[in-house]
Amino acid sequence: MVVVTIGLLLGLVVGWIRKGSFWALGNLSMRGLWLVALAFFLQSLAIHSLHGTAYILVLSAGYVGMMGFAGLNLHTAGIPWMATGTVANFTVMVMNGMGMPAYLPVVQHYSPQLVPLLLAGRLGKSIAMTPDTRLNFLGDIFTFKVASFVSLFSVGDVLIAVGLAVLLQYLMTHPKGGVVSGSIQKTAP
């Protein structure tokens, strides 16, 4: 989440520098916004309360919802980035039993107490990255540390953050935002 928050802040700052308006964010009009809320709810439900097949199905449904939303708004600035990030995350999870592989040496370096928990099984949606892990380069391999808070994230998360930043600054600098499929072809300059 940290990287997505950074994307959000970056989008607002760039939008402001480019003489955009914060009020323009209110013009956000996208198709199927409810799918995002549903997807977040399903992901949260799966990670915190479900196990086994129910976990896999509900988490997958959450990702499918997100990808459906991205598909509906693919012509909107930033959405192609977010869609690619979501697909990258979903792909690596599907290939690894709906678990997101985390690069252990990084975890060991910053939060050694989490290593045994990861090795023992799933921690949230994270699993330990092993030599058998498929598409390991799409897993959580980046780290970000602010004070004592450490965040582990994947290249998919970075793409989602970039997409969010592009979208926000676009909305801020285009007061008639109202981004409807097919009406706007340009991405942010």
Partner 1 sequence: MVPSKKLRHSFAAVYAVLGWGALLTWSVTTHRALSIPEWVVLYTLAGLLLLVERFHIPVTAREVVISLETVYLVAFSWNFPLKTVVCGGFLYAIVSSLRYKGNWYTQAMNALAYVAAASVSIVTAHQLAGFQTGLNIMNIPLLMAYFVVYFFVNIVVVAIYLVLQTTRENTKFLLRSIFSVRAILVYTITLMIGMLMAIVIQNAGLGGAILFTGLIILVAWSYGDYFKMANHFKELAIRDELTGVYNHRHIQFVLDKWFAAETPFAFLMLDIDHFKRYNDVWGHVQGDEVLRKIATLLQEHSQTGEVCARYSADEFVLALPGSDLDELQVRAEAIRQAVEQMELPGVERVARTRLTVSIGIAVYPEMADNKKDLLMRVDDAIYKAKVTGNNQVFLYESVLDEVQQDLVNDDPEQEIVRTLRVFLAILNSKDRYTYAHTERDVNYATALAKKIGLPEERLRYLRLGAFLHDIGKVEVPTEILTKRGPLSKDEWVVMRNHVELGVSIVRPIQSLALCLPIIRHHHERYDGAGYPDGLKTQNIPLEARILTIADSFDAMTTSRPYQRKRNLEEAIQELRQCAGKQFDPDLVEPFIEAVQALGILPSGSQMDLA
Closest distance to partner 1 from the beta carbon of 169 (Å): 13
Instruction: Tell me the C-alpha distance between 20 and 183, whole Å.
Output: 20
Cα 180 to the center of its chain, rounded Å: 22
Q: Which listed range, 23-31, 56-64, 110-118, 154-162, lies at the site for partner 1 (CB under 8 A)?
A: 154-162
Closest distance to partner 1 from the beta carbon of 114 (Å): 17
> Site for partner 1 (CB under 8 A): which residue of 100, 114, 128, 129?
129
Interaction of residue 189 with partner 1, rule CB under 8 A: yes
Interaction of residue 4 with partner 1, rule CB under 8 A: no
Q: Which listed range, 42-50, 55-63, 113-121, 135-143, lies at the site for partner 1 (CB under 8 A)?
A: 135-143
Instruction: Tell me the C-alpha distance between 86 and 163, whole Å.
Output: 11
Closest distance to partner 1 from the beta carbon of 33 (Å): 27
Closest distance to partner 1 from the beta carbon of 21 (Å): 20
> Site for partner 1 (CB under 8 A): which residue of 21, 60, 91, 136?
136
Pick 53 or 185: Cβ nearer partner 1: 185
Closest distance to partner 1 from the beta carbon of 1 (Å): 19
Interaction of residue 40 with partner 1, rule CB under 8 A: no
Closest distance to partner 1 from the beta carbon of 51 (Å): 28
Q: What is the DSSP string of the chain?
A: -HHHHHHHHHHHHHHHHTT--GGGGGG---TTHHHHHHHHHHHHHHHHH--HHHHHHHHHHHHHHHHHHHHHTTTSTTHHHHHHHHHHHHHHHHHTTT-EEE-HHHHHHH-TTHHHHHHHS-BTTEEE--TT-TTGGGSEEEEEEETTEEEEEEHHHHHHHHHHHHHHHHHHH-TT----TTT------
Instruction: Tell me the C-alpha distance between 73 and 80, whole Å.
Output: 9
For residues 66-125, which are near partner 1 according to CB under 8 A? 103, 105
Binding residues for partner 1 (CB under 8 A): 103, 105, 129, 136-137, 141-142, 155, 158, 162, 187, 189
